[in-house]
Amino acid sequence: MLNRRNFLKTGLGTGVAAIPMAAVLGALDPASMLAAEQPSPQQSVGGASTPKLTPLPPRMAALNRATEPWQQSIRRVGQSNMTEHDPAVMNIEEWADYWHSAEADIVFISVTGILAFYPSRVPFHRHGKYLHGRDFFGECVAAARKRSMHVVARMSPDLNWGDALEAHPEWAMRNKDGSVQFCSQEPRLFKTCMFSTYMDDYVPAIMREVNSLYDVDCFYTNGWPPIGSLPECHCAICSNLPAAGTPAYWQAFNDRVFELWRKYDAIAKEKKPDSFFFANLGGNVRCGPNLDRLGKLAVWFQADNQGRTYNDPAVWGCTLQGRVCNAVLDGKFAANVTGAYSTGEVGWRNGSKTPEEAIMWLNETLASGMVPYYHFVGSEDGLGEDRRWQKVGSDYFRWTAKHDAHFTTRRSLANIGVIIGQSTQLLYPGPATARSRAYMHETTQGIYDALLKGRFAFDFVHEDRLEPERLTKYRALLLPNIAMLSDLQCKQIRDYVRSGGSIMASFETGLYDENLHRRPQSGLADLLGIQNAGDAIGTNGNAYYARIESPDSASPHPILEGFTHTNWLPGAQNRIPLKPVQNPILTVVPGFVSYPPELAYPPFPHTDQPAVVLAETASSRIAYFPGDIERTYWLTGHGDLLHLLHNTIRWITRDESIVHVEGEGFIETLSWETTPGYAIHLLNYTNPNAHHCWLQSIYPLGPQTVHMKLPQGVRVKSVEILKAGKTVPFQLDNQTLRFTIPRVEDYEVAAITVT
């Protein structure tokens, strides 16, 4: 049985070194905690050597808050998702008092889901059976306004009833056989087609009616556009579109999404110029609408990413979403929905999840630069039979309200960029050896996990945003099997390397263009120094091995550092065979059977096919793995693959750090420039449930030492750790700032105020 003591002793489930009990017990010792509080702020805090640091960029110019859109000042978002029964039983004043006491700046109020929450006159806008002519929506708006909270008019255009279908059969999504697509859980409701006049006529009619009757600040559509996938419809309109799942269909899908977005936004502004429309988003790297176009149009990114799922079991799902938002929004507003209810494959929509899990999701929202948004489904009185969620949300919101300035981010501090490859995520089916919709999801999880365990400071970078001015901040770019790249994108990556940047790429990167047409060779083959010798090869029992060919075993190449007493390293599950290169440090031992064991040996123990290709020109370094190494690491958790990835990333970055956090445990670090100075966020994932299930308890970590090199002229006034609620001593020597966070529970934020 795994208990707290055994977990801390073994480090089980973290994928990192075990946490010594002395470190944990030291963190809990009151005497050591007191001693840590005693030195003056300028006093040295230890004797560890300073890592190789890249100076932070000059601080950004001050913002003029008076000219910013109103939504930029929103720091807390609340929603009780209303049910048909709520008009009969909900205490509106109690509902409004809860969100106001939690210091919510804005609340979502249901105009319509499948039902009208006000006496609508729009045809087919069905009134709920408990509405009885009551203006429930209007009463909720008035209660929120009385408490100075902004209001979002929430709509759901994705489903409607049989009477609408009978009158407008053209509104329905259809299967290949022409049958109507119905809601899987409630078959009385049909799915509406986004290409039909339902979206052109019915939705605008509701928006205009609401605008004529109520004072709302903006409009939102839930359930549209789809999250993380593209719709497949065979109605008369969609049958004339390109085939679903193709690049041409994605183009048509995007054109329609942004046509409707602009239309709805114009309607929102008919009453108030500072009103706007925004839609249901999320899906992180696999977002349906084009993220580059979305980032240029949207003023509110609604990340409907409410909790871990069976398909996304890792604890960092929320920060992954936040990094995507940071990649495309250029500082515009993003909020992530934390579902207080029991999310997952088996769900309880009206029951609370564990506080530890809900709080970690809120922590991740803040740490990744998004605004926390807390959500539950109403029941009986509008606040639910299970009220355990309420204190979790109100306590958390009140804590953030004390520190809003430190949570309002200006710019991410990172020296590594990870190419998202959104088109690859949505459209690339995986290699012929391993066709799977989950293929790129596994690749993304693998590189993300590896970067966290190496404590690297990284951003996501969208493939359509590779302009030099965006890339110059990064010492290196990572391309984890970014299979689809246009000629322009390949040129931009070449230009980045010529200007001194470094890259690490893998497997089929650049083998397809933006239309999913296969090239004879990767579009980056000249840059990577490779020539393919055939199509992808999969695994037959034993995956291939990489033979260490380092000519000087006393001084191996840096990416082989730490590998001793072995001639082989594990390879990836799938690989592209390459033509020979000069002086390879790893060569391929072809895969062979694992059973029967008598035949588990390589028929060809040595080849001249490289298992990695390295190059160095001036300040640029290039590393290419012909296998799907990131995905294979995620599938297996093999320590050699993790170590090889870490060594390679350190080699291409010349082991430079922009923010270096030293200590034990499995953490995710996100660092930001803020108006007061800087904020270093540490999320403690050292937990047996980091990769599956929900967090049930917290395993605190001991000291974490932070190093960063500040711009010239910047002076530090104080370093405060916000969860602990105290200042810590720091040392500033030749612009290198160093301080120690004595203890990390689930989350800690070091807020650095500068002058």
Structure confidence by residue, pLDDT tens digits, 182-212: 999 999 999 999 999 999 999 999 999 999 9
Q: What is the pLDDT of residues 603-642, one digit of tens each?
A: 888 999 999 999 999 999 999 999 999 999 999 999 999 9
- CA atoms of 316 and 649, how far apart (whole Å): 21
- Which CATH fold would you assign to the domain 4-56+664-754? Immunoglobulin-like (2.60.40)
CATH number for the region 72-158+197-406 comes to: 3.20.20.80
pLDDT of residue 345: 76
Pairwise CA distance, residues 141 & 148, whole Å: 11
DSSP, res 198? I
The pLDDT of 409-414, averaged and rounded, is 97
The runs of H, that is alpha helices, within 203-354 are 203-213, 247-268, 291-297, 317-328
Name residues whose C-beta falls within 8 Å of residue 170's C-beta, 6 or more positions apart in sequence.
193, 196, 197, 235, 236, 237
In the predicted model, is pLDDT for residue 697 greater than 70? Answer: yes
* pLDDT average, residue stretch 251-273: 98
Q: Is the pLDDT of residue 669 over 80?
A: yes
Backbone angle region of 302, left / alpha / beta, with phi > 0 → left and psi within -120 to 50 → alpha: beta
Asked if 45 contacts 729 with a C-beta cutoff of 8 angstroms, the reply is yes
Residue 413 predicted with pLDDT over 60 = yes
pLDDT at position 40 over 50:
no
Please give the order of strands across the beta sheet that includes 458-461: 458-461, 416-419, 476-479, 502-506, 620-625, 613-617
Average pLDDT over residues 655-662: 97
Pull the structure tokens for residue 99.
Answer: 């969100």
Question: What is the H or E stretch that residue 126 is in?
Answer: none
Pairwise CA distance, residues 652 & 501, whole Å: 9
Is pTM beyond 0.85? Reply is yes
Residue 246 has pLDDT above 50, yes or no: yes
CB 325 within 8 A of CB 370: yes
Q: Could you give the dihedral angle defined by the CA atoms of residues 110, 114, 118 and 120, in that order, rounded to the nearest 10 degrees?
A: 140
Confidence of residue 63 (pLDDT cuts 50, 70, 90): confident
pLDDT of residue 311: 80
- Token code pair at residue 285: 């790297």
Q: Is residue 131 predicted with pLDDT exceeding 60?
A: yes
Q: What is the mean pLDDT of residues 294-319?
A: 92
CA angle 358, 459, 58 (to 5 degrees): 115
pLDDT digits (tens, 9 = 90+) for 115-125: 999 999 999 99
Report pLDDT for 398: 97
Quote the pLDDT of residue 379: 54
Reported confidence tier of residue 349, pLDDT bands at 50, 70, 90: confident
Q: How many residues does the chain have?
A: 755
Query: What number is the average pLDDT over the span 288-310?
Result: 94
The band of 552, judged by pLDDT with boundaries at 50, 70 and 90, is low
Q: What local confidence, expressed as pLDDT, does residue 61 receive?
A: 94
The domain spans of the chain are 4-56+664-754, 72-158+197-406, 416-652
Predicted pLDDT of residue 346: 80
Per-residue HEC secondary structure of 345-367 comes to: CCCEEEEECCHHHHHHHHHHHHH
Q: What is the Cα–Cα distance from 385 to 393, expressed in whole angstroms?
A: 16
Q: How far is residue 451's CA from residue 649's CA, in Å, rounded to a whole number?
A: 9
**43 pLDDT band (50/70/90 cuts)?**
very low
> In which band, very low, low, confident or very high, does the pLDDT at 49 lie, cut at 50, 70 and 90?
low
Structure tokens at 143: 């209660």
What integer is the mean pLDDT of 53-62? 95
CB neighbours of 172 closer than 8 A, spacing ≥ 6?
165, 180, 181, 190, 191, 192, 193, 196, 235
Q: State the average pLDDT over residues 159-173.
A: 98
Which runs of E-coded beta strand occur in 353-413?
371-377, 409-412
**Cα distance between the two ends of the chain:** 52
Residue 16 has pLDDT above 60, yes or no: no
Taking 90 as the threshold, does the pLDDT of residue 362 lie above it?
yes
Name the E strands within 500-630.
502-506, 545-548, 568-570, 586-589, 613-617, 620-625
What pLDDT, on the 0 to 100 scale, is given for residue 300? 98
> For residue 734, what are the CA distances in angstroms to 50, 295, 414, 654, 715?
12, 39, 21, 22, 11
Question: Is CATH 3.40.50.880 the classification given to domain 416-652?
Answer: yes
Model pLDDT, residue 289: 96
- Whether residue 8 is predicted with pLDDT greater than 60 in this model: the reply is no
Mean pLDDT over the full length of the chain: 91
- Which of 430-439, 511-520, 625-634 has the weakest average pLDDT? 430-439
Residue percentage of the chain with pLDDT more than 70 = 92
What tokens does 247 get? 């690049």
467: how many CB neighbours lie within 10 A of its CB?
Answer: 11
Confidence of residue 390 (pLDDT cuts 50, 70, 90): confident
Q: 719-740 pLDDT, tens per residue?
A: 999 999 999 999 999 999 999 9
The Cα–Cα gap between 383 and 142 comes to 18
> Are 673 and 694 within 8 A, CB to CB?
no
DSSP 460-509: EE-TT---HHHHTT-SEEEESS--B--HHHHHHHHHHHHTT-EEEEETTT
Q: What is the mean pLDDT of residues 28-54?
A: 47
Query: Which has the closest alpha carbon to 128: 153, 111, 107?
Result: 111
Distance of CA 53 to the CA centre of its chain: 26
Both tokens assigned to 179: 């049958």
What percentage of the chain reaches a pLDDT higher than 90? 83
What is the Cα–Cα distance from 592 to 577, expressed in whole angstroms? 15
Buried residues in 348-364 as b, exposed as e (16+ CB within 10 A): eebbbbbbbbbbbbbbb
Paired residues of 118 in beta bridges: none
Q: What is the mean pLDDT of residues 736-749?
A: 98
